[in-house]
Structure 1
């Protein structure tokens, strides 16, 4: 299994939070040859794919195709799985009841066991919670990546509420709180 770099994790996590999993814009400071190299490697792994950009919807361009159109980058299902997010599967039914199309059934994201995200959740669910130092030691992430995972993947994608409290002995402690 390929280990994601910090930049790859940031690109995939940001894309997973955007409509239609659009991976653009890339992180600040990633441009030119470095951006092209990072994106090319991610396309080779199957984590990103180039798709036609819908300019009318304001989708950002990755490159122009020369015919007045362009492409953008989208996170693939493999890219979502690489960061521990199960792709949301939407099943549309063709059944028509009383002339009205049935509502599509939405499968909510499910957590895969054995991922760093699952480890983070289990740490935050403990009664004693977890400090940033404990999270960093357990996952190997940098502090900003751990905070991003708590805010993005846990908060926005999974709807979990992460609360922090100040403990005199341990410092700042993070826990999964109650949804209000």
Structure 2
């Protein structure tokens, strides 16, 4: 597997937090020949893809094609996988426009307890507090706090709950 530079990792992580996985704008200080070399290498590796920019949605331009159109850059699934971002979580976050990119990126890190919590809530049957506590080794009050604070308030996810006689209160991520 190719070892990514800090700049490449930053570009891909930020892209994962943007609608449509847009890789632009690039990090501050990356412009000119350095930007062309970095992006060219990432395209060659299959981590970024150059696509037609949707000017109606004011997508940032990577380059102009000369006929009144331009191209932009998007992160590919391979690029997201290279920084360890789970495609299932990316799909969940895709509709979020106003959330903080840093918070979304933190939730997408695989292997974290928050990513595990999101995966459990995405299951069709959802998860109860007791089931989450067993899987994450968190206290019940910490789980309720993560659901109401991190998932609902910070990330803007729609988490619903219902009380089932056999399992108690079960939490689920609503399908958007």
Identify the TM-score tier after normalising by the shorter chain.
0.5 to 0.7
Q: Is the 8 A contact 1:13 1:152 kept in 2?
A: no
Q: For the residues of structure 2 that align with 1:107 and 1:23, how far apart are their CA atoms?
A: 16
| Aligned counterpart in structure 1 of residue 114 of structure 2, from 143, 156, 160 | 160
Structure that is richer in helix per residue: 2
User: Higher relative contact order by CA 8 Å / sep ≥ 6: 1 or 2?
Assistant: 2
- Structure 2 counterparts to residues 27-42 of structure 1, below 5 A: 27-42=27-42
* Residue correspondence of structure 1 range 120-131 to structure 2 within 5 A: none
SS of the equivalent of 2:25 reads coil
Equivalenced residue count is 113
Consecutive unaligned residues in structure 2, runs of 5 or more: 94-100, 116-141, 149-176
In the alignment, the residues of structure 2 paired with residue 45 and residue 29 of structure 1 have an alpha-carbon distance, to the nearest angstrom, of: 23
Q: State the TM-score, normalized to the length of structure 1.
A: 0.54
Alignment RMSD, CA only? Answer: 3.3
Unmatched segments (≥5 aa) in structure 1: 90-105, 110-148, 162-174
Q: TM-score, normalised by structure 2?
A: 0.56
Q: Which runs of 4+ in 1 moved over 6 A?
A: 156-159
Residue 157 of structure 1: how far off its partner (Å): 7.5
Which structure features the higher share of strand residues?
1
